[in-house]
Amino acid sequence: MHKVNNQKIASIFYEIALYLEMEGVAFKPRAYERAAQAIESMSEEAYDIYKKDGEKGLDAIPGVGKSMTDKMVELFKTNKLKYLNQLRKRYPVKIKEITAIEGIGPKMVKDLYKKLGVKNLKDLERAAKAGKIASLPGHGKKTEENILKGLGFLKKSKGRVPLGYILPLAETVRDKLKKTPGTTDVEIAGSIRRRRATIKDIDLIAASSKPKELLKKFMKLPEVARILEKGENRAFVRLKEKIDADLIVVPKKQFGSALLHFTGSRFHNIRLRAMAKEHGWTLNEYGLIKKNTTLASKTEKEIYAKFKMDWIPPEIREEKGEIEAALAHKLPKLIPYGSVQGDLQIQTNWTDGSYTIEEMARAAKRLGRKYIAITDHTKALAMTGGLDEKDLARQAKEINKINKKIKNFRIIKSAEINILSDGKLDINEKGLKSLEIVSVAVHSGFSQNERVMTNRIVKALKNPYVNILFHPTGRLLSRRPEYAVNIDTIIKAAKKFNVALELNCFPDRMDLKDTNVRKAIEAGVKIVIDTDAHNVDHLKYIPLGEATARRGWAKKTDVLNTMPVSKLLEHFKKIRIDKLRKIR
DNA sequence: GCCGTTTTCGGCCCGACTGTTTTCAGTCG
């Protein structure tokens, strides 16, 4: 058996979809894409589902039926897929690679292959530079230029970018557009509005009585490098920051329908449109329309109401049960932004942070936090100058001193303690006892196999002093995938040993991710949201974590550090006493 | 290829822009 992971399966299904699209097959490409999307966003591995529940389990994945179940089973059994190999043989073309270029789709790939023998990006570049594409019937000079520009962009582009790095730019552009005469609303839509962890481009929706002026202003912004498309009410540009931005301008009365349309997700929209169709209506960016009359268009809420649904927060518009919940008026009350009162992971210049404890505390207070926990690394992480038991005692004295100086604020004694490769901690019991909150994390042995890694973490969670598991899967979005860990087992252990799981807001981490948050809270495990700040500038990332918690359907009560500090510390204290009593 | 409080068969979301066309296919969101 071969443990083919979800990402790999999704990637294969996406590739099949492209090949089928290339052949002009109807409907099947969408089916494969839909299944791929479902699989890549599952928190449980399809392989584990198969081992546990067999083919029945796979078939139960939404969008997956008999045929795709068979294909997954074949992958698990042989690590190969005959169907895909046949497609690749018929068209020996790097289809995913080539269609990554803006403006090139499967049909053009087919044409370029058949007529010019283009199989990969290198062939494509050579053909374009030699002027061969412009001379093809059906294509021209412009197509060729766009391909060359697209190739250049692809080389420089970083692909999807962490949300936290793009949001400020999107907000800057939005705010500049807001000041245009005749413009009443500008909103960021798309996956940024849904607060996905990574972003491909910036979508902006505006309501204006003077669309021409607004579009002109947009295209002339200093952030813009190049104009890709322009129309009556939309413009599509490439920003100097190597990311594309799209602006759609509508009359005020259509702002809601436009916002709904361009917020997505795609599958949420498809579902809504199918529902509209059942009523004999159509839903598009201009409104919910019955024959020639508009039933609703001004606000999203009005449109949802026509379907007898509650308004659905953008963060959960992923066609993952939110439509059913909205129809039944049973949407969860998602944790409101601004609910997190304190930051529970902060590094200082005692280890690899850049600022003193007091500087971090004062900066956090300025942002409205009521408390922070100081969580410098411990000794096994030698490269950061990790603290030993004596250092922690010294740091405690320092914290006491600063606590007296800063009013209406509380610094909590904590640490980011290493889980050693055998699951033991690198701080002794006396050291653990001296801390108000004990947080643990993996920082070594990333290449351990899943069983070893999982057992190691579970062993650490079993320690009666442990309160929080930091960045449970260890992913770094721009650099490193998750380490091999069985998140279901971790969640079970967290529940059993009453340990909270961290949702780390650092833009590169966002760990736990949304689907794991949902899984954890469904299992009754508590979450903490914190920034992992290494300097004062990082403290601002809390709302990213709140957003991700919302994507995971978390309520305020699921997140421990929405509590005031006295209650929070009481909570951890009580757990510690209970656990120690059970052991003795 | 998937799916079903109308359906196990017959459907499957909708519209704009571009480039190369003389009315449209391809691509994108």
What digits encode the pLDDT tens for the residues A87-96? 999 999 999 9
CA distances from A580 to A79, A191, A432, A567, A572 (A): 47, 46, 13, 20, 12
Q: What is the pTM of this model?
A: 0.89
- Per the CB < 8 A criterion, the answer to whether A513 and A471 are in contact is no
Where does the pLDDT of residue A477 fall: very low under 50, low under 70, confident under 90, or very high at 90 and above? confident
**How many H helices and E strands in chain A?**
24, 17
DSSP A282-298: EEETTEEEETTEEEE-S
Chain A span 71-130 residues with beta carbon within 7 Å of strand B: 99, 101-109
In this predicted structure, the answer to whether residue A158 has a pLDDT above a threshold of 80 is: no
Cα angle vertex A157, ends A239, A229, to 5°? 40
What confidence score (pLDDT) does residue A157 get?
74
What confidence score (pLDDT) does residue A385 get?
83
- Identify nearest nucleotide to residue A32 by CA to C1′ distance: B1
Torsion angle in degrees (nearest 10) through CA of A81, A86, A92, A93:
-60
Cβ of A184 less than 7 A from strand B: no
Where does the pLDDT of residue A265 fall: very low under 50, low under 70, confident under 90, or very high at 90 and above? very high
* C-alpha dihedral sign at A255, A257, A258, A262: positive
What confidence score (pLDDT) does residue A317 get?
95
Q: At residue A482, what is the residue type?
A: E
**Percentage of chain A modeled with pLDDT above 90:** 82
- Identify nearest nucleotide to residue A107 by CA to C1′ distance: B26
Average pLDDT over residues A147-170: 87
In this predicted structure, the answer to whether residue A483 has a pLDDT above a threshold of 90 is: no
Query: Which amino acid residue lies closest to nucleotide B12, measuring CA to C1'?
Result: A27
- Per the CB < 8 A criterion, the answer to whether A500 and A468 are in contact is yes
A105 CB-side CA count, 13 A: 8
What confidence score (pLDDT) does residue A437 get?
97
In this predicted structure, the answer to whether residue A434 has a pLDDT above a threshold of 80 is: yes
Cβ of A314 less than 7 A from strand B: no
What confidence score (pLDDT) does residue A442 get?
94
Measure the CA–CA gap between A435 and A549, rounded to whole angstroms.
27
Query: Which amino acid residue lies closest to nucleotide B29, measuring CA to C1'?
Result: A262
In this predicted structure, the answer to whether residue A236 has a pLDDT above a threshold of 90 is: yes
What confidence score (pLDDT) does residue A79 get?
96
Average pLDDT over residues A541-549: 97
What confidence score (pLDDT) does residue A153 get?
84
Chain A span 371-410 residues with beta carbon within 7 Å of strand B: none
Average pLDDT over residues A174-183: 94
Which tens digit of pLDDT belongs to each residue from A89-118?
999 999 999 998 888 999 999 999 999 999
What confidence score (pLDDT) does residue A553 get?
96
Task: Provide, in whole angstroms, the distance separating residue A113's CA from nucleotide B29's C1'.
Answer: 26
Q: What is the 3-state secondary structure (H, E, C) of A520-546?
A: HHHCCCCEEEECCECCHHHHHHHHHHH
Which tens digit of pLDDT belongs to each residue from A303-355?
999 999 999 999 999 998 999 999 999 999 999 999 999 999 999 999 999 99
Cβ of A269 less than 7 A from strand B: yes
In this predicted structure, the answer to whether residue A478 has a pLDDT above a threshold of 80 is: no
Cβ of A66 less than 7 A from strand B: yes
How does strand A183-188 pair with strand A198-199?
A: unpaired
CA distances from A247 to A165, A189, A216, A218, A383 (A): 20, 10, 11, 8, 47
Beta bridge partners of A440: A417, A469
